[in-house]
Structure 1
């Protein structure tokens, strides 16, 4: 679009956002190439403007791709097959690669550690069965009811003891608590 020699700024309008992104990424190389190619250009910045809408001039109309999609003629290969040299180098590497020797004491230590960790996990999370959750809840409800009944019995006994003490009857000294 234009070059300002005073500030060293080149304004560029790309045809598409993709070209604009590519220009932004390669701006340092473009600035260096422009300064080495054109003596005295003193270009310092590349200002990439937003893409120009709509009108295609004669240069862009000629370069526009064919809108009809093309079908591939044969199978698409993403990589070239490996060369014979590659296969030879791979075979040589595999032939000279040392075998892994496992120390039996290390293997035993690994096995013991794995067993201990599984045992700790089993103790921490004893039964993942959902029925056990319901069993646990039922047991807690029974325990709570038993504790509640015991507390009621104790309260009644203490109330009866206070009533008999007030009437002049001596309370037994060996009273039991729950």
Structure 2
């Protein structure tokens, strides 16, 4: 588009935007090529401007990428040949070889089973419902009430034992039941 000899700036306006990106990436090579081709030009910078509109002339009218009017009728597809259909069917029926090493798959299964067993031991479920079906709300409430009653009974027994020990003024250590040691 323009060249300023005082500043050494060459202004370029590409036609399509992708060419502008390509020019920006290859600017150092273009500056070196311009200085090599035109002696005394002393191009120092390359300024890539916005894409310039193309004027329709005899040279550009022949290469104009504007699409021509397409027919409005739907495109009918041909029926594929029998050989093509047989080849596709044979391809679909072939079994792809497994890429999994059977030894690794077996080790993964063993490890998963061991982790499940450790999980079951660490977090036991007191009343496992068959087939992992959800328990009814009534059954869950009854279980919680039984647990609360057992904890309350153990706490009352301990309080009675401590009171009896205080009244007899013996400072004997009152044994703690297992239920109280395991609860928070």
Q: TM-score if structure 1 supplies the norm length?
A: 0.50
Paired residue for 1:121, among 89, 112, 115?
112
Point out where structure 1 has 5 or more consecutive residues left out of the alignment. Answer: 71-106
Point out where structure 2 has 5 or more consecutive residues left out of the alignment. Answer: 71-100, 120-130, 180-184
Q: How is 1:72-87 mapped onto 2 (pairs within 5 angstroms)?
A: none
| Compared CA separation, residues 159 and 65, structure 1 to 2 (3 A) | closer
Q: Deviation above 6 Å: which 4+ runs of structure 1?
A: 139-143, 162-166, 168-171, 173-176
Structure 2 CA distance for aligned equivalents of residues 59 and 34 of structure 1: 29
Q: How is 1:25-64 mapped onto 2 (pairs within 5 angstroms)?
A: 25-52=25-52, 54=53, 56=55, 58=57, 61-62=60-61, 63-64=63-64
| Compared CA separation, residues 4 and 170, structure 1 to 2 (3 A) | closer
Tell me the matched-pair count: 131
Structure 2 CA distance for aligned equivalents of residues 162 and 175 of structure 1: 10
Answer whether contact 2:14 2:48 (CA < 8 A) is retained.
Answer: yes
Q: TM-score if structure 2 supplies the norm length?
A: 0.49
